[in-house]
Amino acid sequence: MTLKQFYNCRILRNHELVDDHLWVRNGRIVDPEKIFFDEKILPDVKIDCNGLIVAPGFIDLQINGGYGVDFSHDIDNIEDAVSLVARKIIHNGVTSFCPTIVTSPFYVYRTILPKIQKRPGSADGAAILGVHVEGPFINPQKKGAHPEDCIREIYRGFSSVENAYGTLENIKIVTLAPELNRSGEVISELVKRHIVVSLGHSIANLKQAEEGCRNGATLITHLFNAMPGFHHRDPGLIGLLASEKIPKPIYYGIISDGIHTHPAAVRMAYKAHPDGVVLVTDAISALGLSDGQYHLGQLNIEVKGEQAMIAGTDILCGSTINLNRCVQKFKKFTNCSAAFALEAASLNPAKVLGIEKKKGTLNYGADADFIFLDDDLRVLSTWIAGEKVSSNFD
């Protein structure tokens, strides 16, 4: 087992950048003191990081596709579609992700879900942590880019969910609207099965949102989007950021592209509840490509510049931004520290999934998934299990 020492670097540890060495063996971060005192050996390989930042690899909890493929549309070759995106996004520093399926006909879920299996990251691409199923149990009044004829109620409680998806085996996150009838029992049952529940595409008032959290929801899907705007007498889902009536502080996904969320709104969320921010892309099949016509599930999409709209409308439907740019823009919008911006795309999403001891951190025992960045937070190389899988500056 090769022992590697990365030196001359600034490592993101304990919410700050520190001058230190990073030691890796067998795909994990190891404690050098134990090696010195217990094993009395030297590293097999020493790698000079040239003063760069070393941070945990990014984790994207909401990505619909990219590079010409859409996870909700390309169902006949879904394994190849997911593998393509997994290979491409490592260049943006993403080492783990949750492929996202938007509201779709039942046959789409039943075809796709058994085939998108969890797998570790490697030179073949980022790790798949489980599927994020966004819908179909959402409010049609805030459907966004979800086809209304595919939206469903929860008439029969949890059996409605099982009937829709066919299998829950590969699902890690479910987005639903907490105001729907019988949503409480569904949220509770999903959480019992170790599935994260995210509240979104909803017109819930604050009381309904708080009840969703008391039932086990821990995340908000793309804050500010597909929900009512903030109102001082009833702040709705947005009010969860400051609620004192939920079991624990909420996490919230935010698309910091300056299009889905105005920089001032990003700053407001950050200042109201900084510990909850989770940067997501909500990227569609146009990620990494030029303007043109694309798909998002059942809908036709038109991309012009950085904006993706349902064809023939002014309705936003996902982004074309990558997670590295989200991190850079978030830092610019909020004037937060580099460490904070990086953790918003690594440690915080890992905490949402309950995997923060293995992912999103460079603590001893964690998976050696990390990235090299310059002072402008540009990803220069990506490493998975201690092996370089992408380089943007060779």
pLDDT at 34: 84
Q: Same structural domain for residues 154 and 177?
A: yes
Strand partners, 197: 174
Same-domain status, 86 and 219? yes
Residue-level pLDDT at 393: 64
Low-confidence ranges of the chain (pLDDT < 70): 40, 393-394
Find where tokens 């493929």 sit: 69
Residues 132 and 203 occupy one common structural domain: yes
92 among annotated binding-site residues: no
To the question of whether residue 225 is assigned a binding role by annotation, the answer is yes
Residues 329 and 375 in one domain: no
Q: Any known ligand binding at 339?
A: no
113 and 186, same domain (yes or no): yes
Domain shared by 199 and 336, yes or no? yes
226 annotated to a ligand binding site: yes
- Where helices occur in the chain by DSSP H, the ranges are 32-34, 78-89, 106-112, 158-165, 183-192, 206-214, 263-272, 323-334, 338-343, 347-353
- Domain shared by 21 and 160, yes or no: no
**Does 318 show up as a binding residue in the annotation?**
yes
Residues 174 and 93 in one domain: yes
pLDDT at 293: 86
Indicate the pairing of strand 379-384 with strand 370-373: antiparallel
**Domain CATH code at residue 18:** 2.30.40.10
* Contact yes or no for 63/350 (Cβ under 8 A): no
233 is in an annotated binding site: yes
- Rounded Cα distance between 370 and 255, Å, is 22
Q: Is 232 annotated among the ligand-binding residues?
A: no
Q: Looking at the structure, do residues 99 and 229 belong to the same domain, yes or no?
A: yes
Catalytic residues: 282
State whether 121 and 156 are in the same domain: yes
Span 141-198, pLDDT tens digits:
999 889 999 999 999 999 999 999 999 999 999 999 999 999 999 999 999 999 999 9
85 and 141 share one domain: yes
Task: CATH number of the domain at 251, please.
Answer: 3.20.20.140
Q: What is the pLDDT of residue 307?
A: 83
DSSP for 308-350? EEETTS--B--B---HHHHHHHHHHHH---HHHHHHTTTHHHH
Check residue 292 and give its pLDDT: 85
Asked if 96 and 127 count as a contact pair (C-beta separation under 8 A), the reply is yes
Q: Which pLDDT score is estimated for 305?
A: 78
Q: Domain count of the chain?
A: 2
Give the range of the structural domain holding residue 173, as residue numbers without chain letter. 56-353
C-alpha distances in Å from residue 359, one per residue of 1, 137, 145, 286, 336: 21, 30, 31, 28, 22
CA dist., res. 371 & res. 173, Å (int): 25
- Regarding whether 375 and 303 lie in a shared domain, the answer is no
Is 27 exposed, middle or buried, given 0-12, 13-18 or 19+ CB atoms closer than 10 A?
Answer: middle
The annotation status of 132 as a binding-site residue, yes or no, is no
Over residues 31-46, the pLDDT tens digits come to 988 887 777 678 899 9
